[in-house]
Amino acid sequence: YGRRTRILGGIMLAFGGLLNMGLFLKVGAMFIVGITGMVPDSGAVNAVMIVLLALVLVYTVIGGMISVVITDYIQFVILSVGLLVTAWLAVDLVGGLDNIFETVDTYKGEAGFNPVAADSSFGFEYVGWMFFLGIVNCALWPTAVARALAMESTTALKRQYMWSSISFAIRMIIPNLLGVCAFVYVMTKAPDLQQLFSPTDADVKAVDNLYAMPIFLGRILDPGVIGLLTAAMIAAFMSTHDGYLLCWSTVITQDIIAPLFKERLDNPTRIKITRILIVLIGLYILYWGLFYTGEEDIWDYMAVTGAIYFTGAAVVLAGGLYWKRASSAGAIAGLLCGATAVLGIEAIRDQINQALGTGFTGP
């Protein structure tokens, strides 16, 4: 498609990607605060965010992709063991699968099992969106694709996708299961937590429900298991952030800065720029975690910010591979149209409404 399209694609990708990871740091810190029993206030969360970010920045800047691959493998093993043990204990301590199904049916009805039920808050549109998100995540999202593109053979690549698909499924299923167990526990065994998350007094502010699962796990698990799970979640946090930090800094260096210099930058200079960008991106996500005030669900926030890039990039990729008449102008138009997904972010809509004095609610 040419240099202009490459630079624009890099800008859209970096913009969407940086927004996408903006809340990772805060959510990870909230989990650690909740499960360890710290007071869920901004002071504790901010302190944990700073410590976690410093830890990741040090080894990502020094080690690069090699450190990311090695630590990701070790962290995956720790995470797998921690999640499997925790899931088994959580299901057992809330009364088993039968009680889980009965409680969800009692409080949620059909909508608790069927996302397209009449009284569900999801519907066919949301399910279709999630299906599209899953496909493009494997084919387009660079933090996943970067590892694939670094492999030496297509045979190894196919094997990696085949086996990693199992871990991807488990990674989605078990956290959801833990969330369901937390719901059952709060509704059937912890009336004090019901008041914490859904106070009957209108003057009392509800605690963010993101704390529900870690508080639940902190109550039901022995200290040793809490330590194992906390280590597992820190491992997950680190493996996500190191990959994202390296990916977005590399995109900015290779697809924005280098083309602007017409590829005159040598490799040592590119590495130095990438390391500087890693630190700057780390400071950005710390700022975003401290000051972002949007109230949308975390998963929806991730999907919307990812859509800033992948909705346009999906068209660019499909056109480039399968349509002979694909052009640079069409690619640029596709990327710019996809970038309108930024209007789905609540904080940005609020700024637009304040500027225009309207009630715009976004797409």
Question: What are the b/e assignments for 184-205, b being 16+ CB within 10 Å?
Answer: bbbbbebeebeebbeeeeeeee
pLDDT band at residue 99 using 50, 70 and 90 as cut-offs: very high
The answer on pLDDT for 77 being more than 60 is yes
- Check residue 140 and give its pLDDT: 79
- Check residue 131 and give its pLDDT: 87
Question: What are the b/e assignments for 43-52, b being 16+ CB within 10 Å?
Answer: ebbeebbeeb
Number of H helices, E strands in the chain: 15, 0
Q: What number is the average pLDDT over the span 24-43?
A: 81
Q: What number is the average pLDDT over the span 55-68?
A: 70
| Single-letter amino acid code for the residue at 173 | I
pLDDT band at residue 46 using 50, 70 and 90 as cut-offs: confident
296: left (phi over 0), alpha (psi -120 to 50) or beta: beta
Burial group, residue 290, by CB count within 10 angstroms (0-12, 13-18, 19+): middle
The answer on pLDDT for 362 being more than 60 is no
CA 141 to chain centroid, in Å, comes to 12
Q: What number is the average pLDDT over the span 80-89?
A: 83
In sequence order, the 6+-apart residues with CB closer than 8 A to the CB of 155 are none
Q: Which residue has the tokens 């990607």?
A: 17
pLDDT tens digit sequence for 329-341 = 888 998 888 888 8
- Check residue 50 and give its pLDDT: 86
pLDDT band at residue 182 using 50, 70 and 90 as cut-offs: very high
- Check residue 64 and give its pLDDT: 61
Q: What number is the average pLDDT over the span 17-38?
A: 84
| Single-letter amino acid code for the residue at 156 | A
- Check residue 363 and give its pLDDT: 52
The answer on pLDDT for 73 being more than 80 is no
Distance CA 242, CA 294 (A): 25
Question: What is the 8-class DSSP label of residue 198?
Answer: S
Residues in the chain: 363
Count CB-CB contacts under 10 A for residue 238.
Answer: 22
pLDDT tens digit sequence for 134-167 = 887 777 777 777 767 777 788 888 887 888 777 7
User: What is the average pLDDT value for the chain, to the nearest integer?
Assistant: 82
Which of 160 and 69 is assigned the larger pLDDT?
160
The answer on pLDDT for 15 being more than 70 is yes
Assess contact for 186 and 197: CB atoms under 8 A. yes
Distance CA 196, CA 212 (A): 9
Question: What are the b/e assignments for 254-279, b being 16+ CB within 10 Å?
Answer: bbbbbbeeeeebeeeebeebbbebbe
Helix, strand, coil: what percent of the chain each, to 5?
80, 0, 20
- Check residue 24 and give its pLDDT: 83
Distance CA 22, CA 306 (A): 12
- Check residue 360 and give its pLDDT: 52
% of the chain at pLDDT higher than 70: 92
Which of 83 and 213 is assigned the larger pLDDT?
213
In sequence order, the 6+-apart residues with CB closer than 8 A to the CB of 277 are 248, 249, 252, 253
Q: Which two tokens stand for residue 240?
A: 């996500």
Tell me the DSSP string of 220-244.
Answer: HS-HHHHHHHHHHHHHHHHHHHHHH
Distance CA 106, CA 69 (A): 45
What is the value of pTM for the model shown? 0.74
- Check residue 303 and give its pLDDT: 84
- Check residue 342 and give its pLDDT: 84
pLDDT tens digit sequence for 278-303 = 889 888 888 888 877 666 678 888 88
